[in-house]
Amino acid sequence: MAIEMAIYKHQIREGLQQEKQDLSIIIDSMGCGVIVTDINSCIEIINPVAEALTGWQRKEAIGKNLLEVFQLKDTDTGEVIDNLAARAIRTGEVLNLPENCKLIAKDGSETSIGDTVAPLRDEDGKILGAVLVFQDISQRKQTEAELIRNAFYDSITGLPNRILFRDRLAQAFEHSKRRKNYRFSVLFLDLDGFKGINDKFGHGMGDKLLVDISQLLKSSLRGGDTVARFGGDEFAILLEDIKDVTDATNVALRIQNNLETPFDINEHKILVTASIGIALSSVSHQQPADLLDDADSAMYQAKEQGKAQYVVFERE
């Protein structure tokens, strides 16, 4: 009887060993990182993808506490995220990796990752440890960032586009409702004769000129102000939290003074002027677009009055 029991136990051990080997083969063949821990959050299994992402070789990682090998940082706060395996074991719940988290590798490099952490149970439902399944989502994050950039920023100048500008204008409009003494202004700027420059020198040089003008406009503003390209040769500027219209006219004068220096592009000296319309926030504006319309109207008045100047919108 004792011999039969010994043989039976040996068969069980052999079966378990085979199951473990089969499991390792499956885990190693997966295209995502996998780490399995015991009940104390010590690593039992780590597959090749996880080795590559963490920078830890299997022989180094086995037996170590998860936090030594698998460190996550919240990119929003900069803080290290706690032991997710321990939390999954404690709560018995499947957890998603936090948004905007990065894996800190052994060499200090960081990789954006995503996926899940789950408790590992036996046939009776008893929790034995945890399994982490994760993957590099850097490319996805980069694609998302590019989509956002393309949606809200001008592809030539890198400035905010009209969509983002209108959003910031709407925020300023709402802010003015909450603070009675909060004033802001919109400047609408159109480059004089830009079409002629494009026709003479070509669109490639025209684009370079737009980039240089964008830098000039940015350097003419405070850090919290917004300059956007609306398309073609049109730009809009949002000046927030100003005292009165003088703050806006001073910016317009600064821009026009800065434009007096010719741009040097491909060994050509190109002089550019601009017509600028200014509109100051007022209780008479029912919606943000009204302010933009007023600035646009004032800009056309500047054009009609001889260009290379600014006009402050005045309601008749």
Catalytic pick from 154, 233, 294, 296?
233
CA-based nearest residue to 255, from 275, 269, 283:
275
Residue 16 is predicted with a pLDDT of 41
CA angle 44, 46, 50 (to 5 degrees): 150
Can you give the pLDDT at residue 18? 53
What is the percent of the chain where pLDDT is above 90?
55
DSSP symbol at 267: T
Neighbour tally for 11: CB within 10 Å: 10
Catalytic (active site) residue 233: yes
Tally Cβ neighbours within 10 Å of residue 164.
Answer: 17
Q: What pLDDT shows up at residue 11?
A: 40
Distant-in-sequence, close-in-space partners of 219: CB < 8 Å, separation ≥ 6: 258
Distance CA 274, CA 271 (A): 10
Q: Which of 2-6, 111-115, 185-189, 280-284 has the highest mean pLDDT?
A: 185-189
Q: What are phi and psi of 107, to 5 degrees?
A: -90, 5
Residue appearing with tokens 């996880």: 50
Helices (H), the chain: 2-28, 48-54, 58-61, 66-69, 84-91, 138-152, 162-178, 194-201, 203-219, 245-258, 288-304
Over the stretch 204-223, which tens digit does the pLDDT of each residue have?
Answer: 888 999 999 999 999 999 98
With beta carbons less than 8 A apart as the criterion, state whether 275 and 192 touch: yes
Quote the crossing angle between the two packed helices 203-219 and 245-258, to the nearest 10°: 140
pLDDT at 140 over 90: no
Residue 17 pLDDT > 70: no
Which residues contact residue 177 at a Cβ distance below 8 angstroms, ignoring those fewer than 6 apart?
none
Q: Which tokens belong to 14?
A: 């052999």
CA 3 to chain CA centroid, nearest Å: 67
Give residue-wise pLDDT tens across range 161-170: 999 999 999 9
pLDDT of residue 23: 65
Beta-strand relationship, 273-280 and 310-312: parallel
